[in-house]
């Protein structure tokens, strides 16, 4: 068994894409990151895989300083494969702030890293991965609009509030960088009722056949009015109409409201993930 790291994003994509596309929605994170790296590969990234007799067994990757990302391959590859990847990460002196992936893989990864370093893993979040192929008809009171430069301060404020609700602290500087990027990429959307914005969402990563929605947020004064449902339904339909075969998103397993909302729209569970932090 051998662990290797690629220097070329294009070569790595050619090596791993076919295996990852077998569960494309479940692998939207790693596929979406690779798609972004093909367009702009600035910054540190590590593209690894485990092979045996020149056969690809298990790809894994990180864009520093973020968590390591593990794929969903649909079948268990064996503990020794995951341990080999972790050992190589340690031997190479790479940082491991955390790991995200299917529980069976991520838990082995976290335990192996703890055994090597003594750093104890903490479960940061457990998530469902949803896919949508067609939008159910839902009542929509309002209009979907693309966020513009004039909406920057609102997006900054809402992104920080979104981070607080999700347990992910987002500084004002980070929120501004995210908001500016999303506005420039025309990926930030707002739900407008009358003259007021009441909810937001973002078209995030794209893969070969799908698009991911994230940063869905409604401020307290507008909650429980169906605005997020209307927004996500309208945005999902727009993405399907633009040519994507499906949409995907992550939800916190402990949030029954958001899970109900997405299922009402037409999203269904296709996988799960766990996030460990060290």
Average per-residue pLDDT for the chain: 95
Separation CA 21–CA 30 (nearest Å): 11
Separation CA 39–CA 190 (nearest Å): 26
**125 has pLDDT over 90:** yes
Q: Which domain holds residue 18?
A: 2-120
Do 264 and 138 share a domain, yes or no? yes
Do 204 and 253 share a domain, yes or no? yes
Burial level of 259, CB count in 10 A (0-12/13-18/19+)?
middle
Q: Taking a C-beta distance cutoff of 8 angstroms, is the pair 141, 193 a contact?
A: yes
User: What value does the mean pLDDT take over residues 99-113?
Assistant: 97
| Res 257: pLDDT | 87
Strand partners, 143: 192
Separation CA 61–CA 63 (nearest Å): 7
Do 82 and 180 share a domain, yes or no? no
pLDDT range class, residue 166, cuts 50, 70, 90: confident
| Res 75: pLDDT | 87
Q: Is 44 helix (H, G, I), strand (E, B) or coil?
A: coil
| Res 139: pLDDT | 80
- The answer to the question of residue 278 being in a domain is no
pLDDT tens-digit readout, 133-165: 999 988 888 999 999 999 999 999 999 999 998
The domain spanning residue 162 has which CATH number? Answer: 3.40.630.30
Among the candidates 66, 97, 120, a domain finishes at 120
Separation CA 99–CA 69 (nearest Å): 6
User: What value does the mean pLDDT take over residues 96-102?
Assistant: 97
Q: Taking a C-beta distance cutoff of 8 angstroms, is the pair 158, 111 a contact?
A: no
- The answer to the question of residue 102 being in a domain is yes
Tell me which H or E stretch contains 84: helix 79-91
Among the candidates 79, 99, 120, a domain finishes at 120
- The answer to the question of residue 126 being in a domain is no
| Res 275: pLDDT | 97
Do 146 and 244 share a domain, yes or no? yes
**49 has pLDDT over 80:** yes
User: What value does the mean pLDDT take over residues 222-239?
Assistant: 95
| Res 57: pLDDT | 96
Do 182 and 243 share a domain, yes or no? yes
Do 82 and 30 share a domain, yes or no? yes
**Number of domains the chain contains:** 2
**Where are any strands of DSSP class E within 91-221?**
98-101, 122-132, 143-146, 188-193, 196-206, 210-217
Tokens of 22: 């077998």
**42 has pLDDT over 80:** no
**95 has pLDDT over 80:** yes
pLDDT range class, residue 173, cuts 50, 70, 90: very high
| Res 215: pLDDT | 95
pLDDT range class, residue 40, cuts 50, 70, 90: confident
Task: Give the number of other CB atoms < 10 A from CB of residue 69.
Answer: 22
pLDDT range class, residue 23, cuts 50, 70, 90: very high
Q: Name, in order, each residue with C-beta under 8 angstroms of 77's C-beta and a sequence gap of 6 or more.
A: 50, 57, 58, 105
Tokens of 276: 């460990």
Do 113 and 67 share a domain, yes or no? yes
- The answer to the question of residue 13 being in a domain is yes
pTM of this structure: 0.92
- The answer to the question of residue 105 being in a domain is yes
Do 226 and 261 share a domain, yes or no? yes
Tell me which residue of 134, 175, 169, 127 sits closest to 151, measured CA to CA.
Answer: 175
């Amino acid at each position: 068994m051998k662990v290797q790291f690629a220097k070329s994003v294009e070569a790595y994509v050619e090596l791993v894409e076919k295996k990852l596309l077998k569960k494309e929605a479940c692998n939207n994170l790693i596929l979406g990151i690779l798609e972004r790296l093909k367009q702009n590969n600035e910054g540190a990234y590590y593209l690894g895989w485990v092979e045996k007799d020149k056969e690809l067994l298990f790809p894994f990757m990180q864009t520093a300083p973020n968590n390591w990302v593990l794929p969903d391959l649909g079948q268990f590859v064996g503990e020794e494969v995951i341990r080999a990847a972790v050992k190589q990460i340690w031997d190479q002196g790479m940082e491991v702030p955390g790991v995200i992936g299917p529980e069976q893989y991520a838990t082995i990864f976290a335990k192996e890293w703890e055994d090597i370093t003594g750093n104890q893993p903490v479960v940061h979040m457990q998530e469902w991965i949803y896919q949508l192929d067609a939008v159910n008809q839902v009542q929509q009171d309002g209009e979907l609009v693309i966020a513009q430069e004039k909406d920057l301060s609102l997006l900054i404020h809402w992104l920080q509030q979104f981070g607080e609700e999700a347990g992910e602290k987002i500084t004002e500087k980070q929120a501004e960088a995210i908001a500016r990027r999303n506005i420039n990429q025309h990926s930030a959307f707002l739900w407008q009722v009358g003259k007021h914005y009441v909810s937001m969402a973002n078209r995030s990563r794209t893969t070969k056949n799908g698009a991911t929605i994230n940063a869905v947020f409604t401020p307290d004064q507008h909650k429980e009015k169906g605005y997020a449902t209307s927004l996500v339904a309208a945005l999902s339909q727009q993405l399907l109409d633009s040519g994507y075969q499906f949409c995907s998103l992550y939800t916190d397993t402990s949030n029954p409201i958001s899970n109900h909302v997405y299922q009402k729209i037409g999203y269904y569970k296709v996988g799960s993930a766990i996030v460990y932090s060290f």
